[in-house]
C-alpha cells in the first residue's frame, strides 16, 4: 500500500513534468491483469503507463492496440484491440473494469467460455467484435443494453440457443455480423427495431421459421446475407423496399416458392445471389436495368421462360450464373458484353444458337445440359455426350467402359492396387466443362469465389503428407468449388456401380491453439440426383486435416452416365484461415461396375440405348480424336495473341 502510494506520487510528478495524464488507476490495474492472463506481456510493456501518449501500442495500426481518451483529468482506456494473436482462455472479469471502452476487438483468437452478461456494463461501447473465437453458450440478452453499439460481431463461434429478442433494443446498430455463430431458432420480431442497420450477415445458422417479412422494413440495409440457414421461403415481397442494397445473398431456402417480383428498384445492387431459393416464374426484365450489377447468381431454381433481352444491357456484369433452372428459348445474342467474364447457363432446356463474342479473351462459358446449337465448335461431340443429362433424354453415347478413375485437380497417379487415376489438372474457371481425352468422364463447374482477393482457385494443393492412406499423393491435390462441381462418368455399361469418393481436408488447418483451426467446411454430395451425403465435414469425419476419408456408395447406371455432384448449400465458415475457404472439395473418384450385379434398366430401354448408340458410333467414327483434353472455355492463344476456342483437339475432324 505504502509503496503504491509512493509510486503514484512519483508518477504524478512525471505526469506534471511531461504534461501527460495517467491512466485511471483502476483501469490500469485491470488491464495489467488482463495482459498477464492472456500472456501478452511480451508485446505490452507493463512498466509503461498504458495511456502514455507516445506508447508504441497507441497507433491505429498497432496490434495489440491500446488507445485512450484523456479528455478528463485522467485517461480512460477507450480502444482495445487484440486481433488474431491466438489468445486463449475466457473473457476475464477484469475486462469489465474498462468502463469507458468504446471499441473492443478480440476477433480471431481462441477464446472459450461464454459471452459474459457483464458486457452490459460497458455502456459506451460502439464497436464490439468477438468474431472467430471458440465461445460457447447462449448470446446473453444483456447485450441488448449496449445501446450505443454501432457494430456487433460474434460470427464464427460455437454459440447455441436463440438470438435474444433484446438485441432489438440496439437501435443505433449499423452492422450485425452473426454468420456461422451457432445461434438457432426463429429470428425475433424485435429485430424490426434495428432501423439503422446497414449490414446484416446471418448465413450458416440454424434459423427456423419463415423468412422474416420485417427485414423489408430495414430500409437502410446495404448488405444482407442469409445463406445456408433452415429458413423457409418465400422471400418476402416487402424486400421491394430495400432499394439501398448493394449486396443481397440469400440461398438454400425451403418452404414455399419465391418469385423475383420483389426486384423493382434495387438499382444499387452489385452482388445479387439467390441460389437455391425455389425461385419460380420468369426472370423480370427489370434486372437488366440494374446497371451496377457485377455478380448475378440465380442458379438452382425453377425459373422458366427466356433469359431477358434486357440482359444485353449490362455494362458492369462479370459473372452470370443461371444454371439448373427451366429456362427456354435462345440466349440473347449479345449477352456476352465487354465486361462479362463467365456465363453459366448449364442444365436448362435452352435452345437456339450460341451468343456472339463467346470467343473473347478471358471468358468462360458452360452450356452443358442445354440444347444450344454448338455446330461451330470444333468438338461439339463431347458436348453432346453430356446433353443427355437433361431429364428424360436418352444418351447417345457409345457404351464402352465399366469403370473410371479421376485424380481430381491432379496429374495421373497409379495406386498401389493398380488403379490408374486419370489426370484432371486442367484449370477450370467460373463456368467450364471439360472431358478427358478418351471421353470416359467429364467435369462441369459453375461458381465464383466472390470475395477472394487472390483470384479464383479451383484446385487446392498441399505439400503435407496425407495420413490414414497408402496413397498420399492422390490426396495432395483436390478440386474445390464455390458452388457446384459435377463429375460425369460417360459411356458406361448400364448396371450397378460402386462409387468411391476420396476426400482429405487440405486447406483448413486443425491447430487447436489457433483461430485458424476454427474453420468448418460443409457440403453435400448427390449421386444420380440423390443426395447421398448431407453436411459432410471431411476434417471431422477423418479425424483431422490432411487425413484421408473414403466414402463408398452404390449407384445404378441406366442411361450410360454416372452423375456425381458436389454442392455447397451455404454452410460452414467462409473465411478461415483465408477469404473464400468453403465449398465442396474432392480428391479422387473411382467408380467401377459391380461384377455379376443385375442390370437395372428394362429390356426395352436397353434396346433403345443400343440403337441410339449405333448412330452415335457412326458419327463418332468421323471424328479423329487425338485430343488430350477437351474444354469449352476461351483463352488468349499465347503464341498468336488471338482468341480461340480451346477444345483440346489438335486435329480438326470436319
Ligand atoms: C515517451 O516520452 C517520454 C517523455 O515524454 C520519454 O521519457 C519516453 O522514453 C518516451 N517513450 C517512448 C517509448 O518513446
Ligand atoms: C438490461 O436489460 C434488462 C432487460 O433486457 C433489464 O432488466 C436490466 O435492468 C438492464 N440492465 C441495465 C444495467 O440497464
Ligand atoms: C422506385 O423508387 C422511386 C423513388 O426512389 C419511386 O418513386 C417508385 O415508385 C419506385 N418504384 C417501384 C416500382 O417501387
Ligand atoms: C419446365 O417448364 C415446362 C414449361 O415450359 C413445364 O412443363 C415443366 O414442368 C417445367 N419443369 C420443371 C422441372 O419445373
Ligand atoms: C473449441 O472448443 C471445443 C469445445 O467446445 C473443442 O473441442 C475444440 O477443440 C476447440 N477448437 C479449437 C480450435 O480450439
Ligand atoms: C439400384 O437398382 C436396384 C434394383 O432396381 C434397387 O434395388 C436399388 O435400390 C438401386 N440402388 C440405388 C442406389 O439406387
Here the CATH number for the domain that contains residue 262 is 3.80.10.10
Q: 540: Cβ below 6 Å to ligand 5? A: no
CA dihedral 140, 146, 150, 156 (to 10 degrees): -20
Q: 158: Cβ below 6 Å to ligand 5? A: yes
Grid cell locating 9: 506520487
CA–centroid distance, 19 to ligand 1, in Å, is 12
Are residues 307 and 413 located together in one domain of the fold? no
CA dihedral 340, 346, 350, 354 (to 10 degrees): 50
Are residues 514 and 398 located together in one domain of the fold? yes
- Which ligand 3 atom sits closest to the C-alpha of 240? 14
The domain total for the chain is 2
The residue whose C-alpha atom lies closest to atom 13 belonging to ligand 3 is 264
The residue whose C-alpha atom lies closest to atom 14 belonging to ligand 5 is 512
Strands 562-567 and 484-489: antiparallel
For the stretch 461-502, pLDDT in tens is: 999 999 999 999 999 999 999 999 999 998 899 999 999 999
- Single out the residue of 303, 301, 302, 319 nearest to residue 311, CA to CA: 319
Are residues 476 and 573 located together in one domain of the fold? yes
Distance of CA 622 to the CA centre of its chain: 43
- Overall average pLDDT of the 131-153 stretch: 98
Confidence tier at 376 by pLDDT (50, 70, 90): low
Are residues 407 and 354 located together in one domain of the fold? no
- The rounded radius of gyration (Å) of the Cα atoms in the chain is 29
Are residues 10 and 146 located together in one domain of the fold? yes
Confidence tier at 54 by pLDDT (50, 70, 90): confident
Are residues 415 and 354 located together in one domain of the fold? no
- Which ligand 1 atom sits closest to the C-alpha of 53? 1
CA–centroid distance, 47 to ligand 1, in Å, is 12
Are residues 16 and 126 located together in one domain of the fold? yes
The residue whose C-alpha atom lies closest to atom 11 belonging to ligand 5 is 512
Closest-lying ligand to the alpha carbon of 516?
5
- Overall average pLDDT of the 244-261 stretch: 97
For the stretch 565-597, pLDDT in tens is: 999 999 999 999 999 999 999 999 999 999 865
Determine if residue 132 is left, alpha or beta; phi over 0 gives left, psi from -120 to 50 gives alpha, anything else beta: left
Measure the CA–CA gap between 315 and 336, rounded to whole angstroms.
Answer: 10
Are residues 538 and 415 located together in one domain of the fold? yes
Whether 621 is in a domain gets the answer no
Q: Residue 12: is its pLDDT beyond 60?
A: no
Confidence tier at 652 by pLDDT (50, 70, 90): very low
Q: What is the pTM of this model?
A: 0.88
Q: 328: Cβ below 6 Å to ligand 5? A: no
The residue whose C-alpha atom lies closest to atom 2 belonging to ligand 3 is 265
Measure the CA–CA gap between 40 and 62, rounded to whole angstroms.
Answer: 13
* pLDDT recorded at residue 625: 26
Element holding 621 (H helix, E strand):
helix 603-621
Are residues 301 and 429 located together in one domain of the fold? no
Confidence tier at 268 by pLDDT (50, 70, 90): very high
Are residues 485 and 571 located together in one domain of the fold? yes
Task: Name residues contacting ligand 3 (CB within 6 A).
Answer: 240, 264-265
- Which ligand 5 atom sits closest to the C-alpha of 510? 13
Whether 141 is in a domain gets the answer yes
Are residues 300 and 401 located together in one domain of the fold? no
CATH of the domain at 429: 2.60.120.430
* pLDDT recorded at residue 371: 85
- Find the domain containing 139 and state its range: 5-362
Measure the CA–CA gap between 256 and 238, rounded to whole angstroms.
Answer: 16
Measure the CA–CA gap between 514 and 435, rounded to whole angstroms.
Answer: 41
* pLDDT recorded at residue 73: 93
- Single out the residue of 144, 200, 142, 187 nearest to residue 167, CA to CA: 144
Asked which of 69-78, 256-265, 453-462, 575-584 is least confident by mean pLDDT, the reply is 453-462
Is there a contact between 229 and 204 (Cβ–Cβ < 8 Å)? yes
- Which ligand 3 atom sits closest to the C-alpha of 241? 14
Confidence tier at 613 by pLDDT (50, 70, 90): very low
- Which ligand 6 atom sits closest to the C-alpha of 555? 13
* pLDDT recorded at residue 393: 60
Element holding 501 (H helix, E strand):
strand 495-504
Is there a contact between 272 and 248 (Cβ–Cβ < 8 Å)? yes
Q: Residue 6: is its pLDDT beyond 50?
A: no
The values of phi and psi at residue 283, to 5°, are: -80, 120
Are residues 349 and 253 located together in one domain of the fold? yes
Q: Residue 206: is its pLDDT beyond 80?
A: yes
Whether 268 is in a domain gets the answer yes
Mean pLDDT for the chain?
Answer: 87
Confidence tier at 543 by pLDDT (50, 70, 90): very high
Grid cell locating 233: 421461403
The values of phi and psi at residue 89, to 5°, are: 95, -170
Whether 379 is in a domain gets the answer no
Measure the CA–CA gap between 564 and 527, rounded to whole angstroms.
Answer: 5
* pLDDT recorded at residue 458: 93
* pLDDT recorded at residue 559: 85
Is there a contact between 321 and 298 (Cβ–Cβ < 8 Å)? yes
Better-scored residue on pLDDT, 42 or 584: 584
Better-scored residue on pLDDT, 530 or 559: 530
Better-scored residue on pLDDT, 419 or 623: 419
3-state secondary structure of 431: strand
Positive or negative, the CA dihedral 617, 398, 444, 638 is negative
Whether 308 is in a domain gets the answer yes
Is there a contact between 435 and 382 (Cβ–Cβ < 8 Å)? yes
CA–centroid distance, 54 to ligand 1, in Å, is 6
DSSP letter at 33 equals H
Closest-lying ligand to the alpha carbon of 18?
1
* pLDDT recorded at residue 170: 98
Classify residue 526 as exposed, middle or buried by CB count within 10 Å of its CB (0-12, 13-18, 19+).
middle
Q: 54: Cβ below 6 Å to ligand 1? A: yes
For the stretch 425-464, pLDDT in tens is: 998 889 988 888 888 899 999 999 988 867 678 999 999 9
Amino acid at each position: 500500500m505504502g509503496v503504491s502510494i509512493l509510486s503514484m506520487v512519483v508518477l504524478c510528478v512525471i505526469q506534471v513534468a511531461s504534461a501527460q495524464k495517467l491512466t485511471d488507476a483502476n483501469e490500469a490495474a485491470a488491464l495489467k491483469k488482463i495482459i498477464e492472463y492472456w500472456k501478452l506481456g511480451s508485446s505490452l510493456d507493463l512498466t509503461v503507463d498504458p495511456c502514455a501518449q507516445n506508447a508504441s501500442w497507441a497507433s491505429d495500426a498497432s496490434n495489440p492496440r491500446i488507445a485512450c481518451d484523456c479528455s478528463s483529468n485522467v485517461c480512460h482506456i477507450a480502444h482495445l484491440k487484440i486481433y488474431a494473436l491466438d489468445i486463449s482462455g475466457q473473457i476475464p472479469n477484469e475486462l469489465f473494469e474498462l468502463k469507458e471502452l468504446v471499441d473492443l476487438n478480440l476477433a480471431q483468437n481462441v477464446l472459450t467460455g461464454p459471452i459474459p452478461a457483464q458486457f452490459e456494463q460497458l455502456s459506451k461501447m460502439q464497436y464490439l467484435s468477438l468474431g472467430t473465437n471458440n465461445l460457447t453458450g447462449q448470446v446473453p440478452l444483456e447485450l441488448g443494453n449496449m445501446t450505443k453499439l454501432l457494430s456487433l460481431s460474434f460470427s464464427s463461434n460455437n454459440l447455441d440457443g436463440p438470438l435474444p429478442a433484446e438485441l432489438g433494443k440496439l437501435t443505433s446498430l449499423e452492422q450485425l455480423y452473426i454468420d456461422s455463430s451457432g445461434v438457432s431458432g426463429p429470428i425475433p420480431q424485435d429485430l424490426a427495431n434495428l432501423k439503422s442497420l446497414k449490414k446484416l450477415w446471418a448465413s450458416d445458422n440454424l434459423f427456423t421459421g419463415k423468412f422474416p417479412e420485417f427485414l423489408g422494413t430495414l430500409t437502410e440495409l446495404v448488405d444482407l446475407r442469409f445463406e445456408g440457414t433452415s429458413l423457409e421461403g418465400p422471400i418476402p415481397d416487402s424486400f421491394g423496399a430495400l432499394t439501398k442494397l448493394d449486396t443481397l445473398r440469400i440461398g438454400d431456402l425451403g418452404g414455399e416458392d419465391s418469385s423475383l417480383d420483389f426486384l423493382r428498384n434495387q438499382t444499387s445492387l452489385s452482388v445479387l445471389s439467390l441460389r437455391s431459393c425455389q425461385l419460380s416464374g420468369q426472370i423480370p426484365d427489370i434486372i437488366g436495368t440494374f446497371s451496377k450489377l457485377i455478380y448475378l447468381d440465380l442458379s438452382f431454381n425453377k425459373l422458366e421462360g427466356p433469359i431477358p433481352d434486357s440482359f444485353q444491357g449490362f455494362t458492369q456484369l462479370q459473372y452470370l450464373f443461371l444454371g439448373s433452372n427451366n429456362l427456354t428459348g435462345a440466349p440473347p445474342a449479345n449477352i456476352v458484353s465487354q465486361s462479362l467474364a463467365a456465363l453459366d447457363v448449364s442444365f436448362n432446356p435452352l435452345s437456339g444458337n450460341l451468343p456472339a463474342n463467346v470467343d473473347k479473351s478471358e471468358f468462360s462459358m458452360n452450356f452443358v445440359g442445354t440444347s444450344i446449337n454448338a455446330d461451330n465448335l470444333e468438338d461439339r461431340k463431347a458436348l453432346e455426350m453430356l446433353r443427355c443429362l437433361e431429364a428424360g433424354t436418352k444418351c447417345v453415347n457409345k457404351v464402352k467402359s465399366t469403370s473410371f478413375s479421376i485424380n481430381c485437380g491432379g496429374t495421373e497417379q497409379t495406386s498401389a492396387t493398380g488403379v490408374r487415376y486419370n489426370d484432371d489438372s486442367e484449370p477450370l474457371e467460373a463456368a467450364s466443362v471439360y472431358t478427358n481425352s478418351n471421353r470416359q468422364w467429364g467435369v462441369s463447374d459453375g461458381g465464383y469465389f466472390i470475395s477472394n482477393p487472390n483470384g479464383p482457385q479451383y484446385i487446392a494443393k498441399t505439400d503435407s503428407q496425407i495420413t490414414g492412406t497408402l496413397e498420399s499423393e492422390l490426396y495432395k491435390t483436390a478440386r474445390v468449388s464455390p458452388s457446384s462441381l459435377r463429375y460425369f462418368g460417360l459411356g458406361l455399361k448400364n448396371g450397378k456401380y460402386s462409387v468411391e469418393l476420396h476426400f482429405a481436408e487440405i486447406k483448413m488447418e486443425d491447430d487447436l491453439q489457433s483461430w485458424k483451426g476454427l474453420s468448418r467446411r460443409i457440403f453435400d454430395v448427390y449421386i444420380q440426383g440423390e443426395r447421398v451425403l448431407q453436411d459432410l465435414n471431411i476434417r471431422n469425419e477423418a479425424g483431422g486435416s490432411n487425413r484421408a476419408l473414403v466414402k463408398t456408395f452404390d449407384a445404378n447406371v441406366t442411361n450410360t452416365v454416372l452423375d456425381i455432384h458436389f454442392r455447397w448449400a451455404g454452410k460452414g465458415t467462409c473465411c478461415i484461415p483465408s477469404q473464400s475457404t468453403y465449398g465442396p472439395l474432392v480428391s479422387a473418384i473411382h467408380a467401377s461396375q459391380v461384377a455379376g450385379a443385375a442390370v437395372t434398366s428394362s429390356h426395352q430401354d436397353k434396346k433403345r440405348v443400343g440403337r441410339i448408340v449405333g448412330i452415335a458410333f457412326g458419327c463418332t467414327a468421323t471424328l479423329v480424336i487425338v485430343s488430350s483434353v477437351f474444354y469449352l472455355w476461351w483463352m488468349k492463344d499465347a503464341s498468336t495473341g488471338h482468341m480461340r476456342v480451346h477444345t483440346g483437339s489438335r486435329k480438326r475432324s470436319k
